[in-house]
Structures are given as structure tokens and as C-alpha cells.
Amino acid sequence: MTAWIDASCILIVFFSLVLLATYRIVGMIKIFAVQSLVLSAMPFFLHADALAGRDILIGIGTLILKVIVVPNILMWAMRHVSMRSEVKPLIGVSLSILCGALLISGAFWIAGSLKVPGALISDLVVPCSLATVLLGFLLLVTRTRAVAQVLGYLVMENGIFLFALSLFDAMPVLIEMGILLDVCAAVFIMAIVMNHINEEFEHAPASVSRSKMGETF
């Protein structure tokens, strides 16, 4: 199973890097869903020899919340806000990928000096989790759209969750589920706020026109 774990870690980092090179919001949401799908399989790969009930619970919970619920909420928000792509990102595609590559190298360098308690099944779990956190933070600070920034935060959470899986035996299941529920709640609130903001902007021209008509008459 080590090969599957290594491949999953590489894919998670790869999808984080692809998000940096993607400007279409809908495409970014779909990429995040695929990344979360790979992440939801990690508990099964890490404990394939002795699969417990909490492994299944966390895997299924991740699948439901981060692959189905969260992307659908974001898609619902996109349908209510006239926005399909990032208008003015702070840095371009080439510079984003270059910064991402530097962050990945830095993550592997930092992971080499970390002392993680217990034996790790794969040497890629810790550096890939750190790289995912750093890439998510880069996405968060370089994008101007609220949905893209939320996706950056969610990618960071994916990296934290991957790191938590490396210490799975020492981390109670309620902590992981609490993190996932907090993320789901944050995205849900963000979608409601964006919907209200969009409604306010739709009603603004009508009120302005009425005030102008009042001034005319």
C-alpha cells in the first residue's frame, strides 16, 4: 500500500499546483473536489492491514462533506453571483507555478528536519502535507475573488488533514470530524453572504432610478 500512499500524496500536491494555474472558478471547484476525493481514500490506504470503523467513518465523512457538500455549496454560490473566472489575480500563471515549485522544495526541506512521533508508513506524507498547506496559503493571498480565497483556505485544510492522518492513532476521530464540519459551516455562511450581497447589487439600480425619478418630478 505504500505505493498507493505515495501516489496519493503526489496527486494531492499536484492538484494544489494545478489550482494555482487555474483562473476559472468553476474549474477550481472541480479540481478541489478531485483533490478531496484522493484525500478521502487516504485513511483506507494508511490502515489497509487493520481497517477500523473510525477509518471508514473519516473516509466516508470526508467524501460526503468535501467532495459532495462543499463543492455543491460553492457551485450554488456561483450560480447566484455573476462570476466565472478570476478577473485580476495578483500574480500571473508562470510566477504562480514558480512560487509553488519553490514552496514545494521548501516543504520537503522543512520536513527533513521535523521529528514526527511514531513510525510513518510513507516518507512523503509529511512533506506533501506541508507543501499542500503552503500552496493553499499562496492561493489564498494571491487571489482577489472570495470564492478563490475560500478554496485556498480549504486546500490549506486539506494539507492539515493529511498531516493529521500521519498521526492518526494519536488523534481522536471527533477532532477530524469537527474540522470538517467547521469548514462546511464556513463555506455555507460564505455562500449565504455572497447571495445577499448579490441581491443588494441587483436591487441597487432600481432604487437609484426611483430616486432620480423623484428628483425629476
Residue 31 has pLDDT above 90, yes or no: yes
As given in the structure block, the three cell numbers for residue 185 are: 459551516
What pTM was estimated for this model as a whole? Answer: 0.80
Residue 154 has pLDDT above 80, yes or no: yes
Query: How confident is the model over 179-188, as pLDDT tens digits?
Result: 666 666 666 6
Average pLDDT score over residue span 195-211: 54
pLDDT, position 137:
93
Kindly list the domain boundaries of the chain, sorted by start residue: 2-216
Least confident of 31-35, 37-41, 51-55, 153-157: 51-55
pLDDT, position 15:
95
Residue 208 has pLDDT above 80, yes or no: no
Identify the burial level of 188 via C-beta atoms within 10 angstroms of its C-beta, where 0-12 means exposed, 13-18 middle and 19 or more buried. middle
pLDDT band at 11 (very low <50, low <70, confident <90, very high): very high
Average pLDDT score over residue span 205-215: 45
**Across all residues in the chain, what is the average pLDDT?**
77
Query: How confident is the model over 90-145, as pLDDT tens digits?
Result: 788 888 899 999 999 999 998 887 776 656 677 788 899 999 999 999 998 888 87
